[in-house]
Amino acid sequence: MTIPLFCTFNAIAADTGKDAPPDWEFSSRSLDAYANLMLGAGFWPTIFVSPESARAHAPMLEELRERGCELGLLVSPSQSSIFPKKKPLGTLTIIEQHLAITQARDVFGQFLYHMPKSIRTGFHSGNQDTLELCQTLGFTRASIRMPGAQLRQLGSEWPTDAGIILRPLIEIPVTSNPDEKLFNRFPLYLSPEFGTPETITALVAKGIAHGHVCVTGSTASEYGSPQGVIGANSEALLIALNSVESLRSYRLSDYTPAP
């Protein structure tokens, strides 16, 4: 039995808060290091790109696309300079959500010369209406849910169900453990940025038990250094993923569940 593996990454607009990269140079290093880490291991990343990052990193992103990365859309109004309302997407009305997504997609297309098929929201903010809106706007894949996240102020209120949803569009949640919380009360999720080598290995096993593994990360953290938490967890992550022969890496837009 083949188990799908999704390696995802958020290219967040720089200098938009504590959960964002401090500047574009930092963002560039982090993005390049993550992509090289995953591509070097034979995995195919999906990079969710904010409209500001599409503008700032266009040449690098086009190069990464040529190397095999998928470029999806990241919509995070609270971490952006282009949206009139600086609030998480899921806290906006559906009309405001529609405007935010279409604005972000238009800037993405302006600088990257194609329209994204996959979408994620900042802070995993959204609801069932958001998923239906994404399908209406032509997206075919999403990775918005964070199973077990219950943060009303961020518009992230998701049940613990960790399976892939096939309707209204194919929605692939990040692998998480709702029983263990991070400092911000999000569930511990599968990322080199958090936890320990032991929890990374346990989360990979948890994802396999639920039928898929979805890794994530972001330009807010410094990838590329062998020192510190990210270096140790990245090594543990690759060991855990490579030890499971049934895992098969997919870009989000390439994945179609078996009938």
pLDDT, average across residues 41-60: 98
The percentage of residues in the chain with a pLDDT greater than 90, rounded to a whole number, is 93
- CA torsion angle 160 99 75 214 (round to 10): 40
Q: Domain segments of the chain: what residues?
A: 3-254
Alpha carbon of residue 94 to chain centroid: 22
* 3-class secondary-structure state, position 150: strand
| 143 vs 227, higher pLDDT | 143
Tell me what pLDDT residue 239 has.
98
Give residue-wise pLDDT tens across range 181-194.
998 899 999 999 99
- CA torsion angle 174 178 179 183 (round to 10): 90
* Half-sphere exposure of residue 68: CA atoms within 13 angstroms, side-chain side: 14
The reply to whether CATH 3.20.20.370 applies to domain 3-254 is yes
Element (H, E) at 141: strand 141-142
Whether the per-residue pLDDT at 259 is higher than 80: the answer is no
pLDDT, average across residues 79-96: 93
Whether the per-residue pLDDT at 110 is higher than 80: the answer is yes
Give residue-wise pLDDT tens across range 127-184.
999 999 999 999 999 999 999 999 999 999 999 999 999 999 999 999 999 999 998 8
Rounded CA separation 21/30 (Å): 9
Rounded CA separation 196/211 (Å): 23
**Model-level pTM?**
0.97
